[in-house]
Structure 1
Amino acid sequence: MNKLKMENSLYMCPPGPHAVLLVIVLGTAINAKYQRSLQDHMSLFGDDVWKYTIILFTRPDWLGVKTVEERIESDEGLQWLVNKCENRYHVLNNLEPNNREQVKVLLEKIEEMWAENDDPYYEVDQRRAAEMETLREDADKRAKKMKKIIERQSRVLKEIFKEERQSLSELRVVLLGQKGSGKSAAGNRILFMEKIEDFKKDNEDQRVSVKHQGDFDGVKVSVVEAPGCYKNTKAPDWLKHEVHRSVSMCDPGPHTFLLVVPVHKSFTENDHREFVELLKPFTEKVWAHCMVLFTRGDWLGKHSIEDHIVREGKALQELLTKCDNRYHVFCCDCSDNPAPVKDLLQKVIDISTRNRGCFSHKDKQKKTSFLPWKKKQLTVTEEWKKREQMLIDKMMRALANEPDKTGIPSVEVARSMDEFVIPNMSGDVISEYGSISGLQRAHKNVSEWLKQRTRFSDVTSGIYSVSSASSHVEEFHENPSLDLK
């Protein structure tokens, strides 16, 4: 998105800019990395742009008694940059904002540059300008479409699970992300810690997972920050071990994995691959418990997070797809505002509700062998849960593929021939369940079937009876003080 905005800036002053001012703080060291960055940024405008570029140095007070020329001579990177601009540069003193003379001299240097060039301004490619406008309009449409789809999916899911919303006495989350992604700041933000360095203090060697606990409206909140590695480097084995340990620190398991992604940095295929590798030991089921937490949301300015997602590229979109388009945004300029944290924790509760509990990597089956009737009941129960989830997933895909239609795609829940037949939830045939209320009836139909199946079985002890979709999972206690709806 940043690259597109930069390139588009040339077309905001037709027929083209008279000058491009490359602003450099005099204290900046133009090392090899910075030099590559400058080349990449300027290449967006074409090779000829250097003929119309003047270096605008700022903060000359940093030099002390040293002159600008001495500063240039002391830095090979600066020498390269000045040569690239054919020795055109100017200094603006920030400590003298009312000094009109320094602006007058700058304009005179721009006029001298005009005289040296064949054209007084850098002529832009009008075909590219039209292409940029088309790209911008297309991206705006896709961002609006994405937001509409997600809002619609969210409404449908709330309707489906509105009778099963859980009140949790404790929330457990694990933060994953690279160094510098904002994990520590996010952890402190969630827990409203007084000192922003609390997580960093406990993680000075940056190779150990850190756990902190707090309280939000009477709910105990546990946050575990796993260590991260540097961008574009392969995750070492010790990091994979620490990620596994961070899950064990959230016994019996985390409700959500927050994948921390800063919006002010590019998200590459390597970044996506790193998250996949770190979570691979937990199998594919872990992605149902994952959500992307965007940090530095203030960098977006007036743009929405959806604008950023559709423009950032395939890698970020693939990560969000694996997380079923679950995401949240934290800004740096509202750290004292509890609303973003409240919204985040509500999303964690929604994830737990849909998954009917927290994530657990442990084998749920006991070592002792089950009796035949109990094995049969477990099989029926798991089959029901699997088919219900397939139905919900198909609903979500249908909503994504047909975002402009007001009706909900039809699904089929065939009536059981008897209490021993598992309902058909394939969704391939149109039936009466063609609305949210219809889906709820389908949902209740399967629930009632399962109750009957249990009631008419040989089991009467109630040891493994099922009363609703939220049964046989971690017990959640009522907490009247928490109302995040």
Structure 2
Amino acid sequence: MGSCASLPERRIVLLGSKGDGKSSSGNTILGEKVFTTKASDNSVKAQSARRKKRRYGSKITIIETPGFFDTNNNDKEMKSEIIKALVECAPDVDAFVIVLKVREYTSQEIGVLQKHLNKINKNVFDHTVILFTFGKHLKGKTIEEFLKANSQLQKLVDKCGGRCHVIDNKHWKRRKRGNKSNRVQVKNLMETIDKMRNKNGCFTNELFQKVEEQIQEEIGKMNGENLPEKEKQEKAKKNVQNTMLEQAEGVTAETLMDALLNAA
């Protein structure tokens, strides 16, 4: 836990499996299409988007990670995208949002989910919110009723202090009021994140701090270059990403994702 670097801005990291709606959720939160949402896309992807206009009281930065449960793929691209996400997270983030689809889960799927979640440091859950997608699949039930019938998912929500919301990136777009409105649900999500941040601060760890130091060092090397500050920042991040990728030779994608989530 740490103090937030910039209170007027929310930095949110999306975690989840391919097909559960991470990209669409990022677009719904930002209120514009920024992320590629084709279900056929490879899960090897880390994207960051910054909304220039204020939304729900502040600027919002969304960092979408590669498939959280798909890190058995150890190719160079997967590792590169996880490192990109790590660099984007420095020096801290306001919230991790675990994106899960509303559906029936088999005991095997719950087991895989639990296996990954068990590795996450307990402190991370103090900065985590669960976001269920495909809300239409609730078929008239409330999210509380859905969880009541899924004890393992309820335990996960409990781990996150009961912080849980539901959206439907396709069917709840147009309604402006009520529980079946993405506009209402995202507003509630932002309020939950603000309350969580006010109580627990922002999340940071030694790696995030170290990455930020490296970024600042790279920017310092460009003092003689006549470049806009934003361009210096992006160039510095790219240099740090390349250095980290070289250092990660022989390290698995799963280990890198563990590092991002401060795994125990």
TM-score normalized by the length of structure 1: 0.35
Structure 1 residues 454-483: Cα deviation after superposition (integer angstroms, max 9, x where no partner): xxxxxxxxxxxxxxxxxxxxxxxxxxxxxx
Structure 1 residues 363-385: Cα deviation after superposition (integer angstroms, max 9, x where no partner): 7999xxxxxxxxxxxxxxxxxxx
User: Separation in 2 of the partners of 1:365 and 1:271?
Assistant: 28
Query: Could you tell me which residue of structure 1 aligns to residue 49 of structure 2?
Result: 212
1:178 aligns with 2:17: yes
Contact residue 95 and residue 127 of structure 2 kept, 8 A = yes
Query: Could you tell me which residue of structure 1 aligns to residue 111 of structure 2?
Result: 269
| SS, match of residue 168 in structure 1 | coil
User: Separation in 1 of the partners of 2:115 and 2:7?
Assistant: 33
- Structure 1 unaligned segments of length 5 or more: list them: 1-166, 367-485
User: Separation in 2 of the partners of 1:240 and 1:310?
Assistant: 37
Percent identical pairs in the alignment equals 30
Query: Could you tell me which residue of structure 1 aligns to residue 8 of structure 2?
Result: 169
Where in structure 2 are the equivalents of 1:214-363 lying within 5 Å? 214=51, 215-228=54-67, 235-237=72-74, 242-243=81-82, 245-266=84-105, 268-277=110-119, 280=120, 283-313=121-151, 315-331=152-168, 332-336=170-174, 337=176, 338-355=183-200, 357-362=201-206
TM-score normalized by the length of structure 2: 0.62
Alpha-carbon shift at residue 247 of structure 1 (Å): 4.0
Alpha-carbon shift at residue 240 of structure 1 (Å): 7.5
| SS, match of residue 349 in structure 1 | helix
Contact residue 35 and residue 47 of structure 2 kept, 8 A = no
Contact residue 46 and residue 84 of structure 2 kept, 8 A = yes
4+ runs deviating over 6 angstroms: 363-366
Alpha-carbon shift at residue 243 of structure 1 (Å): 4.6
Greater RCO (CA < 8 Å, at least 6 residues apart): 2
User: Separation in 2 of the partners of 1:297 and 1:288?
Assistant: 25
| SS, match of residue 14 in structure 2 | strand
**Per the alignment, do residues 200 and 301 of structure 1 end up closer, same or farther by CA in structure 2, a change over 3 Å counting?**
closer
Where in structure 2 are the equivalents of 1:51-200 lying within 5 Å? 168-193=7-32, 195=33, 198-200=35-37
Contact residue 291 and residue 327 of structure 1 kept, 8 A = yes
- Structure 2 unaligned segments of length 5 or more: list them: 1-5, 177-182, 211-264
Contact residue 9 and residue 60 of structure 2 kept, 8 A = yes
User: Separation in 2 of the partners of 1:365 and 1:188?
Assistant: 28
Query: Could you tell me which residue of structure 1 aligns to residue 220 of structure 2?
Result: none
**Per the alignment, do residues 250 and 306 of structure 1 end up closer, same or farther by CA in structure 2, a change over 3 Å counting?**
same
Structure 1 residues 261-289: Cα deviation after superposition (integer angstroms, max 9, x where no partner): 10124151212222344xx3xx3211110
The Cα RMSD (Å) is: 3.0
